[in-house]
Amino acid sequence: MLKIILKAVIIIFLGMNFASAESSLVEKAAVQKVLDQVFAAMRAGDAETLKTLILPDTPLDRANPDKPVTRGISKDWIDWVSTLKPGQADEQIFDVKIHVEGPLAVAWAPFTIALDGELKSCGVNQFTLVKQPDGWRVAYLIDTHTPEKCLSR
C-alpha cells in the first residue's frame, strides 16, 4: 500500500513539473514573438505597431562603459522609427535567453544593427516585459553598444 501511495505522489509531482515546464515554454515563445514583432516593425518603419508592443513612456537606457547611463524613453525611439523607410534600419537579435516568472519576463538579446545596408554597431539588449490582459509588452529596455567588437572583424 505504501508503494502505491509513493508511486502516486511521484506521478503527481512529475505531472505538475511537466505542466509547469510546458507553460513556461509557451510563455517564452510568446515573449520571443513580441521581440520578433518589435524588430520587424523597426525594419518596416512601422511606428504604429511599435506603440502596441511597448508600454507608453517605457524607459530605453544605454549602459556606457566610461560614463553614466544614457536615459531615454520609448517615444523618442518610436519617433525615430517613424522617419525610417522600410529596410533602412535592420537590427537582428540572436542567441536570445528568456526567463519568465508569472507576469514578468526578462530577455537577453545580443544584436547587430545595420543602417542603409552598412553594419553600424552591435551589443546586447536587455528587455523587461510584463504580461498585460492583451499579452506581453515591453516595459523596459537597456542596451550596450560595442561597435569595436563587431566592426573590427
pLDDT digits (tens, 9 = 90+) for 123-153: 999 999 999 999 999 999 999 998 888 876 5
Q: What share of the chain is helix, strand, coil (3-state, %, to 5)?
A: 40, 35, 20
Neighbours of 107 (CB within 10 A): 23
Tell me the domain boundaries of the chain.
Answer: 2-151
Question: What is the per-residue pLDDT across 22-44, written as a single tens digit (0 to 9) for each?
Answer: 568 999 999 999 999 999 999 99
Length of the chain: 153
Q: Is the pLDDT of residue 9 over 50?
A: no
Question: At the topology level of CATH, where does 2-151 sit?
Answer: Nuclear Transport Factor 2; Chain: A, (3.10.450)
Please give the average per-residue pLDDT across 8-20, as a whole number: 49
**Residue 107 and residue 126 in contact, taking contact as beta carbons nearer than 8 Å:** yes
pTM above 0.85, yes or no: no
pLDDT digits (tens, 9 = 90+) for 61-71: 999 988 999 99
Which three cell numbers mark 24? 513556461
Asked if 88 contacts 65 with a C-beta cutoff of 8 angstroms, the reply is no
Give residue 14's pLDDT.
Answer: 47
